[in-house]
A and B are shown apart, each in its own frame.
Chain A
Amino acid sequence: EAGVVQSPRYKIIEKKQPVAFWCNPISGHNTLYWYLQNLGQGPELLIRYENEEAVDDSQLPKDRFSAERLKGVDSTLKIQPAELGDSAVYLCASSVKPQGYEQYFGPGTRLTVT
């Protein structure tokens, strides 16, 4: 069974530039999560999808961050414009609902904003 796929793995951009991350969850997983992981910290939830619906986006900085999961499968997270403080690892995870307890994480995208 293929795991959660994320791309790109690494991205370096200048501040004020836009950037997008892509995630393909495990087949059949209805729930998709985007997390932010700062160096030396645990993951922090940005947004959670149930199929194509964003059911929890309370922690997503909506002035510059946006996300979509149009067909309830893969998802894109966008930052526009990026700031220096956005440098972090962006993790995608998925789980099967209703057994939503076990999350499977992708390898993450390491973003560096210069």
Chain B
Amino acid sequence: GNSVTQMEGPVTLSEEAFLTINCTYTATGYPSLFWYVQYPGEGLQLLLKATKADDKGSNKGFEATYRKETTSFHLEKGSVQVSDSAVYFCALSDLRAAGNKLTFGGGTRVLVKP
């Protein structure tokens, strides 16, 4: 079956530090890949996505590249801000499944200190 593994948190950084959150996946076929973010007290929001190999998704200074050869979709940001403190979820959708049900990783909590 499909699965997503992401690094456990919490990840604690200082403002302006470089952030990487590792995400690897197992899937039958070629899924679409997503990063969702959950800010404190808010619902899940899509951060970025990539739908085929070598695609790069980007938004709000975050980037992730769909790497089929390593089955990875690592999230990066060059200079984090306090406002980036949140829980980040990597997810995939199965091309061969009906609809677009998402399989999520366990989430990585990021805390950025001023």
A and B interact: no
What residues make up the interface of B, taking CB atoms closer than 8 Å to A?
Answer: none
